[in-house]
Amino acid sequence: MTEPLALYVHWPFCVSKCPYCDFNSHVRESVDQAVWRDALLADLRHEATLLPGRRVSSIFFGGGTPSLMPPATVAAVIGEAAALWGLTDDCEITLEANPNSVEVAAFADLAAAGVNRVSIGVQSFDPQVLEFLGRAHSGDEARRAITAAQAHFRRASFDLIYARPGQGLADWERELADALGFGTGHLSLYQLTIEPGTRFATLAAKGELVPPDGDAAADLFDATQAMTRAAGLPRYEVSNHARPGEESRHNLTYWRYGDYAGVGPGAHGRRLAQATERHKKPENFIAAVERNGHGLKVETDLPPHERATEAMLMGLRLTEGIDLARIEVRSGLARDAFVDADAVARLAGQGLMQQTGDRLGVTDDGILLLDSILSEVVRTG
Ligand SMILES: C[S@+](CC[C@H](N)C(=O)[O-])C[C@H]1O[C@@H](n2cnc3c(N)ncnc32)[C@H](O)[C@@H]1O
Ligand SMILES: C[S@@+](CC[C@H](N)C(=O)[O-])C[C@H]1O[C@@H](n2cnc3c(N)ncnc32)[C@H](O)[C@@H]1O
Ligand code: SF4
């Protein structure tokens, strides 16, 4: 049996650019919807020639702001994927939505198009924080969007950003309790990261934006774990929480080093030994599709060591950890070539890692030290 395939579709446009964000997102006065629909469909057909004989087990519309896509385009992409590959019976189809009222008004049509899971970028419910984050929606709009999503889709999740400048523990506990009160089966809780090249990075460099220090951030993280566990939504990845069974199957495919195809500007794809990258700027992507019939920019062979290393970097983010036997199969290397057994034994002795048979994982105590743990255990060849 062949492994299932995850499909990522990128929509690169947003109403405004948030000052913390370095995703491939752009503000454009107008978007030629017919050109974009046709370009995504052409890109999809090209991917299908490279990855025949698979069935799609998840589709993820990310961005940018894919809730700005015309529902008819979403339906056309899902229909084309079904025609080219076929979808598994329980195919998870996620779309990221911003909580603005216009986009919420499209929920019914998006559900009719086949979307069965939404992930809403709430970030915060606090008006002052939303302004600081440059968000184009209010706290009430966010609340209404979550409730509407729960009514229209089988599954709903939302994102919050915490460990913000000046945020105290009590503030965060109140906001998180509020969030858990909605009873969604999934939550993504990200600590604010200052990404190079963003407006926040400029402010941080001038000392005008000071995120909490390491200790304060660790306290916020610990409180997050305790509260989500008590609410039945434990962490299953560094920043992702779910009721068991409600994990994002699409993202699990990435973290478990499964195969995925990516279409649209800047989308990444990976199949066993190859990584694909697409033209990133919207205009370059469209020009490439018009020139070549697809948006693929480069395809890179992944040598065995790179495969094993990436599989470890991704997999150790998961609470379930990695399956060393699976990485041996996917990379063609014996485990001694990519994991330092002495370092694992030492870290296990300190309570930071645990190993049971082929399963190796990072413990709750280790997860905040993930980067240094990785630098000790991953053998880069
Ligand atoms: C990391 S956020 C996760 C969102 C949400 N918290 C969830 O759990 O569904 C998803 C974003 O990652 C980026 N992304 C995901 N898969 C990608 C791919 N294959 N190629 C390029 N970017 C991707 C996109 O910008 C997308 O909007
Ligand atoms: C690619 S964004 C797309 C979501 C959608 N456009 C929105 O903004 O609502 C996915 C998520 O990544 C998170 N994110 C983006 N930049 C971040 C940063 N610098 N630090 C922490 N989280 C970030 C936000 O929670 C955001 O909802
Ligand atoms: S956070 Fe979302 S809405 Fe803001 S610029 Fe990034 S992708 Fe666009």
Distance of CA 268 to the CA centre of its chain: 12
Q: What is the pLDDT of residue 180?
A: 98
From 68, 98, 102, 200, the mutation candidate for ligand 3 (largest count of ligand atoms within 8 A of CB) is 98
For the beta carbon of residue 361, count every other beta carbon within 10 angstroms. 17
What phi and psi, each to the nearest 5 degrees, are found at residue 223? -60, -40
Residue minimizing CA distance to atom 9 of ligand 2: 121
Measured distance CA(191)–CA(165) in Å, rounded: 11
Q: Specify the ligand 3 atom closest to the Cα of 21.
A: 6
Measured distance CA(335)–CA(117) in Å, rounded: 37
Question: Is any ligand 1 atom within 6 A of the Cβ of residue 188?
Answer: yes
List, in sequence order, every residue forming a beta bridge with 9; answer none if it has no partner. Answer: 61, 263
| pTM strictly above 0.95 | yes
Q: Contacts for 288-295 with beta carbons within 8 Å, 24 or more apart?
A: 289/39, 289/42, 289/43, 293/42, 293/46, 294/42, 294/43, 294/45, 294/46, 294/47, 295/39, 295/43, 295/263, 295/264, 295/265, 295/267
Q: What is the pLDDT of residues 170-206, one digit of tens each?
A: 999 999 999 999 999 999 999 999 999 999 999 999 9
Residue minimizing CA distance to atom 5 of ligand 1: 119
Whether the CA torsion 119, 271, 252, 376 is positive or negative: it is negative
Q: What is the pLDDT of residue 316?
A: 98
Q: Specify the ligand 3 atom closest to the Cα of 16.
A: 5
Residue minimizing CA distance to atom 7 of ligand 3: 64
Closest to 72 measured CA to CA, from 32, 106, 30, 117: 106
Closest to 67 measured CA to CA, from 18, 35, 100: 100
Q: Are 184 and 240 in contact (CB under 8 A)?
A: no
- Give the tokens for residue 263: 């279409």
CA 21–ligand 2 middle distance (angstroms): 7
State yes or no: pLDDT of 1 exceeds 70.
Answer: no
For the beta carbon of residue 326, count every other beta carbon within 10 angstroms. 15
Q: What is the pLDDT of residue 3?
A: 76
Q: What is the pLDDT of residue 272?
A: 77
Residue 103: pLDDT band by 50, 70, 90 thresholds?
Answer: confident
CA 23–ligand 1 middle distance (angstroms): 9
Q: What is the pLDDT of residues 41-96, one digit of tens each?
A: 999 999 999 888 899 999 999 999 999 999 999 999 999 999 999 999 999 999 99
Question: Is any ligand 1 atom within 6 A of the Cβ of residue 8?
Answer: yes
Question: Is any ligand 2 atom within 6 A of the Cβ of residue 195?
Answer: yes
Whether the CA torsion 143, 149, 151, 155 is positive or negative: it is negative
Portion of the chain with pLDDT greater than 70, in percent: 99
Tell me what the pLDDT averaged over the chain comes to.
96
Question: Is any ligand 2 atom within 6 A of the Cβ of residue 23?
Answer: yes
From 10, 13, 15, 17, the mutation candidate for ligand 3 (largest count of ligand atoms within 8 A of CB) is 17
Q: What is the pLDDT of residue 225?
A: 97
State the DSSP code for 302.
-
Residue minimizing CA distance to atom 19 of ligand 1: 268
Q: What is the pLDDT of residue 4?
A: 82
Q: What is the pLDDT of residue 101?
A: 76
Residue minimizing CA distance to atom 3 of ligand 3: 14
Q: What is the pLDDT of residue 29?
A: 93
Domains of the chain: 5-255 (3.20.20.70), 322-377 (no CATH)
Q: Given 3-state DSSP classes, what are the helix, strand and coil percentages for the chain, each rounded to the nearest 5?
A: 45, 25, 35
Measured distance CA(136)–CA(158) in Å, rounded: 16
Residue minimizing CA distance to atom 25 of ligand 2: 159
Q: What is the pLDDT of residues 131-161, one digit of tens each?
A: 999 998 999 999 999 999 999 999 999 999 9
Whole-Å CA distances, 126 to 143, 179, 219, 291: 11, 12, 21, 47
Residue 361: pLDDT band by 50, 70, 90 thresholds?
Answer: very high
State the DSSP code for 13.
B
